[in-house]
Amino acid sequence: MKAVGARLPRYDGVAHVTGRTQFVDDVRIAGTLWAKALRSPAHHADIKSLDVSKAEAMKGVLAVITWKDVPLLEYGHLSALGIPADEPLLAKDEVRYKGQPIALVAAEDEETAQAAVDAIELEVEEKPALFDVRKAFDSDAPKVHQWGNWYPHFEGEMDRRQIRKGSIDEAFDRADTIIQGVYRPAAIEHVPVETQVCQVVPEADGRLTIYSCTQALYFSMGVVAAHLQVPLNRLKFVGGTVGGGFGGKVDTATETMCSLLTLKSGRPVKWRWTREEEFLCSSTRAPWHMEIADAVTKDGWILGRKMLTLHDSGAYSRFSPYGLTKHSFHHTGAYTIPNLEFDGYVVYTNRVPTTAMRGFGVTSVSFAAETHMSRIAKELGLDPFEIRLKNANRIGDTSPNGVVYTDPSTVPTILAVADELGHELPADYRTMSSERREGEWLPEHLVGQLGNPEDH
Amino acid sequence: MRLTVNGVEREIASSPLTPLLQVLREELGITSPKAGCQQGGCGSCTVLVGGAPRRACLLPVAALDGADITTLEGLGTPEALSPIQTAFHEHYAAQCGFCTSGMVLAAHAFLENGGGTERESIQEALAGHICRCTGYVKILDAVEAAAGGEVTSNQRWLPQTGEEAPVEVPGAPA
Amino acid sequence: MATAVETEADVVLPTSETEAIEAFGDGSSVTVLAGGTIVVPDITYGYTKPRRVLMLAGAGLSGVETEGSRITIGAMTSVADLVDLSAPLGPCAANVADLEIRAQATVGGNICAPPGRDAPRGDLQAALLALDAQVRSAGAGGERTESLEAFLAARDGRLLLDVSYEEPASGAFARLDRPHTHDYSALTVCVARAAGGTIRIAAAGVAGPAVRLPSAEAKADDPEAAGQAADADATFADDALASAWYRERTLPVLVRRALTQLQEAA
Contacts of A109 in chain C (CB under 8 A): 1-4, 6
Shortest Cα–Cα distance, A29 to chain C (Å): 8
pLDDT digits (tens, 9 = 90+) for A192-210: 999 999 999 999 999 999 9
Q: Which amino acid is at C254?
A: L
Contacts of C101 in chain B (CB under 8 A): 40, 55, 58, 128
- pLDDT score, position A456: 62
Backbone angles phi, psi at A186, to 5 degrees: -85, 170
Shortest Cα–Cα distance, A251 to chain B (Å): 19
Q: Is the pLDDT of residue C54 over 90?
A: yes
Looking at A69-83, A112-126, A225-239, which range is the least confident one? A69-83
- pLDDT score, position B56: 98
pLDDT digits (tens, 9 = 90+) for B43-72: 999 999 999 999 999 999 999 999 999 999
pLDDT digits (tens, 9 = 90+) for A303-332: 999 999 999 999 999 999 999 999 999 999
Contacts of B81 in chain A (CB under 8 A): 14, 17-18
CB contact (8 A) between residue A274 and residue C45: yes
Q: Is the pLDDT of residue A442 over 80?
A: yes
Contacts of C119 in chain B (CB under 8 A): none
In a domain, C179, yes or no: yes
C223 three-class SS = helix
In a domain, C3, yes or no: no
- Number of structural domains found in chain C: 1
CB pairs under 8 A between B and C: 97
Backbone angles phi, psi at A450, to 5 degrees: -85, 150
Contacts of C100 in chain B (CB under 8 A): 43, 46, 53-55, 106, 128
pTM over 0.90: yes
Q: Is the pLDDT of residue C6 over 60?
A: no
CB contact (8 A) between residue C5 and residue B53: no
- pLDDT score, position B138: 97
Tell me the average pLDDT across A101-115: 97
- Cα C66 to Cα B127, C45, C107, C166, C172: the distances in Å are 31, 40, 16, 10, 21
Shortest Cα–Cα distance, A104 to chain B (Å): 21
- Domain boundaries A155-188+284-455, corresponding CATH code: 3.30.365.10
Exposure string over B121-147, b if 16+ CB within 10 A, otherwise e = ebebbbbbbbbbbbeeebbbbbbbbbb
CB contact (8 A) between residue C11 and residue B17: yes
Tell me the average pLDDT across C104-124: 92
Q: Where are the alpha helices (DSSP H) in C81-172?
A: 89-94, 99-104, 107-112, 123-130, 148-153
SS3 content of chain B, % helix, strand, coil (to 5): 35, 15, 55
CA nearest to A27 within chain B: B31
The answer to whether A324 touches A159, Cβ cutoff 8 Å, is no
Q: Would you call C196 exposed, middle or buried from its count of C-beta atoms within 10 A (0-12, 13-18, 19+)?
A: exposed
In a domain, C79, yes or no: yes
% of chain C surpassing 70 pLDDT: 95
- pLDDT score, position B164: 47
Q: Which chains touch B (3 or more CB pairs under 8 A)?
A: A, C
Cβ of B43 under 8 Å from any chain C Cβ?
yes
- CA C101 to CA C181: how far, in whole Å? 12
Cβ of B33 under 8 Å from any chain C Cβ?
no
The answer to whether A396 touches A453, Cβ cutoff 8 Å, is yes
Q: How remote is the C-alpha of A131 from its chain's centroid?
A: 18
Q: Which chains touch C (3 or more CB pairs under 8 A)?
A: A, B
- pLDDT score, position A453: 82
CB contact (8 A) between residue C4 and residue A110: yes
In a domain, C35, yes or no: no
- pLDDT score, position C182: 59
Shortest Cα–Cα distance, B88 to chain A (Å): 7
Write out the residues of chain C at the interface with chain B, using a CB-CB cutoff of 8 A.
1-9, 11, 13, 33, 35-37, 40-41, 43-45, 50, 53, 55, 57, 97-101, 103-104, 180-182
Torsion, CA A143, CA A144, CA A145, CA A149, rounded to 10: -70
Shortest Cα–Cα distance, A278 to chain B (Å): 9
CATH number at residue C88: 3.30.465.10
In a domain, C36, yes or no: no
- pLDDT score, position B79: 85
**DSSP letter (8 states) at residue B125:** H
CB contact (8 A) between residue C1 and residue A270: yes
The tally of CA atoms less than 13 A away on the side-chain side of residue B77 is 3
In a domain, C88, yes or no: yes
- pLDDT score, position A41: 98
CB contact (8 A) between residue A25 and residue B81: no
In a domain, C24, yes or no: no
Q: Is the pLDDT of residue A351 over 50?
A: yes
Q: How do the domains of chain A map onto residue ranges? A: 155-188+284-455
Q: Which amino acid is at C38?
A: I
SS3 string of chain A? CCCCCCCCCCCCHHHHHCCCCCCHHHCCCCCCEEEEEEECCCCCEEEEEEECHHHHHCCCEEEEECHHHCCCCECCCCHHHCCCCCCECCCCCEECCCCCEEEEEEECEHHHHHHHHHHCEEEEEECCCCCCHHHCCCCCCCCCCCCCCECCCEHHHECCEEEEECCHHHHHHHCCEEEEEEECCCCECCCCCCCCEEEEEECCCCCEEEEECCCCHHHHHHHHHHHHCCCHHHEEEECCCCCCCCCCCCCCCCHHHHHHHHHHHCCCEEEECCHHHHHHHCCCECCEEEEEEEEECCCCCEEEEEEEEEEEEECCCCCHHHHHHHHHHCCCCCECCCEEEEEEEEEECCCCCCECCCCCCHHHHHHHHHHHHHHHHHHHCCCHHHHHHHHECCCCCECCCCCECCCCCHHHHHHHHHHHHCCCCCHHHHCCCCCCCCHHHCCHHHCCCCCCHHHC
Q: Would you call C180 exposed, middle or buried from its count of C-beta atoms within 10 A (0-12, 13-18, 19+)?
A: exposed
CB neighbour list of residue B118: distance below 8 Å, 6 or more residues apart: none
CB contact (8 A) between residue A25 and residue B44: no
Shortest Cα–Cα distance, C74 to chain B (Å): 18
* Residues of chain B scoring pLDDT < 50: 154-155, 157-165, 167, 169, 172, 174
Contacts of A270 in chain C (CB under 8 A): 1
Contacts of C4 in chain A (CB under 8 A): 109-111, 114
Structural domain span for residue C179: 62-266
Contacts of C2 in chain A (CB under 8 A): 34, 108-111
Instruction: List the single best residue of B104, B131, B132, B139 to mutate versus A (max A Cβ within 10 A).
Output: B132
Contacts of B41 in chain C (CB under 8 A): 182
Q: Would you call A121 exposed, middle or buried from its count of C-beta atoms within 10 A (0-12, 13-18, 19+)?
A: exposed
- pLDDT score, position A81: 80
Residues paired with A271 in a beta bridge: A198
CB contact (8 A) between residue B62 and residue C13: yes
In a domain, C83, yes or no: yes
Q: Which amino acid is at A57?
A: A
The answer to whether B55 touches B33, Cβ cutoff 8 Å, is no
- pLDDT score, position A80: 78
